[in-house]
Structure 1
Amino acid sequence: MNNESEHEELEGNVKHEHHHFVAGSGQDPLRIDKYLMNFIENATRSKIQQGIKEGAVTVNGEVVKSNYKVKPLDDIRVSFDHPPHESLLVAEDIPLNVVYEDDHLVVVNKPAGMVVHPGHGNYSGTLINALIHHFDNLPNNTSNRPGLVHRIDKDTSGLLVVAKTEEAMAHLSAQFAAKTSEREYIAIVWGSFNEPKGTVEG
């Protein structure tokens, strides 16, 4: 086998960690498949058992079987050949409401109900999925999220500034971190307010 083939084989064997748990010091003996069902959301026992069968689950660095009993302080890792779903960014042809664009940045009006970036339970239909479809080579932030320098909640509509260049990413991120950028929020409230203006905390 030549060096190139050996390198490709090694690359193909790279595992991506999806979950990592350390059993508590008072952990009672419990089958590994049942243990993982308690900690991995929306995972069925059959899927967990299949993953264990495929060697995706290790305890203290060793591949185990479904009947392995978890012990106190066991180091449990679940790894697969593919990155976690939130790291798999897929371009999707989702319409964007662009209100401003130049060579350095773009401002989009995010509708309510749209998640800004992929995460647990929201792996598609996000703003980032739309952005990477409409714009090429967006710079990654420190969390490997293309173009993103700030975010707003799923149920909040509003403007987001997206960096198109590395320079814009650095400057915009610094502004948001230093809180030198000004943001205005409009909210619907109800109740009895005696003063015409002021600050509401709570």
Structure 2
Amino acid sequence: MKLLAGKTVLITGGSDGIGSAIATACAGQGANLVLVGRGRQKLSKKENDLLPYGIDVISISIDLYSNGAVHEVAGKIADDRRRIDILVNNAGIGRFIPFSDFDQDVLDLHLNLNVRVPYLLTRALLNDLIEAHGNVINIFIKQGDVHLSSAWESARSYKKLNTLPDITRPQVRSVFRIDPKTIKKERYQHENPDHRGQH
């Protein structure tokens, strides 16, 4: 029997990059998937790519940065009567820009996507995860560049990855922290290939 047969895995940022690779790996182990991403076209392509695995795939096209997005995701899962066994908090952003350009809007973007959304989504799905004796996997980036914006990013990532496991561990079976290192994604390469990356 496959390791994840009968389980349902929710992956944020699941339509491309690291999230897409995680989705494929989980599908290979028999997991049903809930993929959350911004682009409907990419989500549809990923659904088609997963057809040979014979699993159920639900795609939710939404910008997690938008107000009420986490509530909407949780609502759609509840409407589908689907229990989440594993949550993969993968969606996030890391903008490598000079500290002088790191204004409040950029700060809010990072805090919302990299800290607030994983906290709120984990809380929204907590009853499912407790019932399933489930797992939470947090994908984070800990940058090693020397300029000040990266120093801020490292501090942010470190704080996020050290607090979320501590508060959820008594109720959820396992909380993992994984650092896949920074990758460059196409949309940021077009904007500024030297200073931006996202996972």
TM-score of the two chains, using structure 2 as the length reference: 0.25
Determine which structure has more spread, i.e. the larger CA radius of gyration: 1
Give the number of the structure with larger relative contact order, counting CA–CA contacts within 8 Å between residues 6 or more apart: 2
Q: TM-score normalized by structure 1?
A: 0.24
